[in-house]
Amino acid sequence: MRRDIYTADHEAFRELVRDFVTREVVPGYEEWERAGRMPRHIFEQLGDIGVMGLAIPEEYGGAGTDDYRYNAILQEEASRALVTLGTVRTQLDVILPYFLAYANKEQRSRWFPELAAGRLLTAIAMTEPGTGSDLAGIRTTAVRDGDDYVLNGAKTFITGGLLADLVIVVARTSSDPDNRRAGLTLLVVEEGMPGFTKGRELDKIGIRVQDTVELAFDDVRVPVANRLGEEGKAFSYLGRNLPQERMTVAVGSVAQSRAALDTTLAYAKDRQVFGNTLASFQNTKFELAAVSTEVEAAQALLDRAITELVAGRLSGADAARVKLFCTEMQARCVDRCLQLFGGYGYIREYPIARLYADARITRIYAGTSEVMKVIVAKSLGL
């Protein structure tokens, strides 16, 4: 179905990204998967063509546009080429908004030019062993000592943490037994600070080009000058970006489902079974017709939500609905596509295997499907 959310400027950007992905990402992608990370020079190349600084103000070397549709195009074009852009998505869609919203003038001058150039890489450290989605249960502490905070604790499942130069850490600076959400603060920990340790890389079943690590903080002295926003206000800060974070997952889910459909169509038309093409069998036609219908339905819902997000009107409940629907759709559709490959679908040299493994996390991170249902239920007064 025709999509009408993009302008000519967006489509010109799409061509730029498509060319970059074809030339710079696809040839080395399998090697990056084996290494478990995307090389740093790719981030710098993306900075050179303006991608890393899209939302950063022009005075700091960026483009000064906060139009989320450009971010969506990045994922769509990577998925079309059957790859992902590693932690680029996380940096632009999830982490950068915190810097844009809460960094003061001095921090902007210190960090923004290098962020726009792709020479400073970032991560955000929220999840702790045993806390999961319960951010109010964070136990990492930061105690004020003069012009520093002394940070102690551990974080896990930190996307991009291995390469990150700046890590936004959610830490508890005070406790209120009557309000577990109070007393959380955002501190930017820099690579090389004494006591800051990057632990083991977690061996994931999917999204293998995106490093995920454990982090530890042992009496790390973080200058007060590295605090983002006000002390004790982090819980409300984290909630404000959740709709976009969840939309980011939904965008990837739909784009990767479409990629699964396209690669399965090509395979079915070429694969010979019992003297006929796989595509000639009624079951194949029915399965792919069903997948196509689900993808189009999800795309329509997603495009409406993107429009609402760009206009500043997307609610948390609607973002939860979109993430829930699109990720559950992805699970069904990629599974049906892999089934049509038979045994070959289970072999990693076929892109459908990668798409299948990558799809499983989308119903977990940025809030599980169960958490999405709780949010939607609350919006219904339940």
Supply the residues annotated as catalytic: 245
Q: What is the 3-state secondary structure (H, E, C) of the chain?
A: CCCCCCCHHHHHHHHHHHHHHHHHHHHHHHHHHHHCCCCHHHHHHHHHCCCCCCCCCHHHCCCCCCCHHHHHHHHHHHHHCCCCCCCHHHHHHHHHHHHHHHCCHHHHHHHHHHHHHCCCCEEEECCCCCCCCCHHHCCCEEEEECCEEEEEEEEEEEECCCCCCEEEEEEECCCCCCCCCCCEEEEEEECCCCCEEEEEECCCCCCCCCCEEEEEEEEEEEEHHHEECCCCEHHHHHHHHHHHHHHHHHHHHHHHHHHHHHHHHHHHHHCEECCEEHHHCHHHHHHHHHHHHHHHHHHHHHHHHHHHHHCCCCCHHHHHHHHHHHHHHHHHHHHHHHHHHHHHHHCCCCHHHHHHHHHHHHHCCCCCHHHHHHHHHHHCCC
